[in-house]
Amino acid sequence: MNKSIILSFTVCISSLLSSTPEIFKDRRESVRKQLGPTSVMILSTAKVYLRNGDVEHEFRPDSDFWYLTGHPEQETKLLLIGKDFKGKEMVPFSDEIIFTRPGNPRLEVWTGKRLGVEGVKQELGFQFVEVTDSFKVSIEKLMPFVDTLYITMSGRNIHTQNLPDPSEELFDKDKFSDVTVLNAGTIIHHLRHIKSPDEIELLQKAIDITGEGIISAMQRVKPNLYENNIEATIEFVFRDLGSERLGFPSIVGSGENSTTLHYTTNNRQMKFRDLLLMDVGAEYHMYTADITRTIPVSGRFSYIQREIYSYVLEAQKIAFDSVEIGMTLKDIHKIAKNYLNEKGVGQYFIHGIGHWLGLDVHDVGGRKAKIEVGSVFTIEPGIYIAIDDTTALEKYRGIGIRIEDDVIMTENGPKWLSAHIPKEIDEIETIMRQGRRKVRH
What Rg value do the Cα atoms of the chain yield, rounded?
A: 24
Torsion angle of the four alpha carbons 92, 94, 99, 104, in this order, in degrees rounded to the nearest 10: -60
Of 212, 218, 211, 384, whose CA–CA distance to 299 is shortest?
Answer: 218
Neighbours of 363 (CB within 10 A): 24
Asked whether residue 386 carries a pLDDT value surpassing 60, the answer given is yes
| 6 — pLDDT class (breaks 50, 70, 90) | very low
Beta strands in 83-151, from DSSP E residues, in sequence order: 96-100, 129-131, 148-151
- Residue 2 CA to residue 331 CA, distance in Å, equals 39
Residue ranges per structural domain of the chain: 3-191, 194-440
pLDDT at position 437 is: 76
Mean pLDDT for the chain? 92
| 171 — pLDDT class (breaks 50, 70, 90) | confident
pLDDT in tens, 234-283: 999 999 999 999 999 999 999 999 999 999 999 999 999 999 999 999 99
- Residue 229 CA to residue 220 CA, distance in Å, equals 9
- Residue 142 CA to residue 92 CA, distance in Å, equals 11
Helix 329-342 to helix 303-322 angle, to the nearest 10 degrees?
140
Helix 425-440 to helix 197-220 angle, to the nearest 10 degrees?
60
Asked whether residue 4 carries a pLDDT value surpassing 70, the answer given is no
pLDDT at position 164 is: 60
Angle among Cα 101, 107, 112 to the nearest 5 degrees reads 80
Is residue 389 a contact partner of residue 352, using CB atoms and an 8 Å limit? no
pTM: predicted TM-score of the whole model, two decimal places: 0.92
Neighbours of 162 (CB within 10 A): 5
The 251-254 sheet, strands edge to edge: 251-254, 275-280, 291-296
Q: Quick check: helix, strand or coil at residue 133?
A: helix
- CATH fold of 3-191: Creatine Amidinohydrolase; Chain A, domain 1 (3.40.350)
Percent of the residues in the chain that have a pLDDT greater than 90, as a whole number:
83
pLDDT at position 17 is: 38
pLDDT at position 250 is: 98
Q: Given this chain, do its domains 3-191 and 194-440 carry the same CATH topology? A: no
Is residue 62 a contact partner of residue 43, using CB atoms and an 8 Å limit? yes
Asked whether residue 14 carries a pLDDT value surpassing 80, the answer given is no
φ and ψ at residue 287, rounded to 5 degrees: -105, 140
Q: Quick check: helix, strand or coil at residue 180?
A: strand
- CATH fold of 194-440: Creatine Amidinohydrolase (3.90.230)
Asked whether residue 158 carries a pLDDT value surpassing 90, the answer given is no
Neighbours of 55 (CB within 10 A): 7
Neighbours of 228 (CB within 10 A): 16
Neighbours of 158 (CB within 10 A): 5
Amino acid found at 298: S
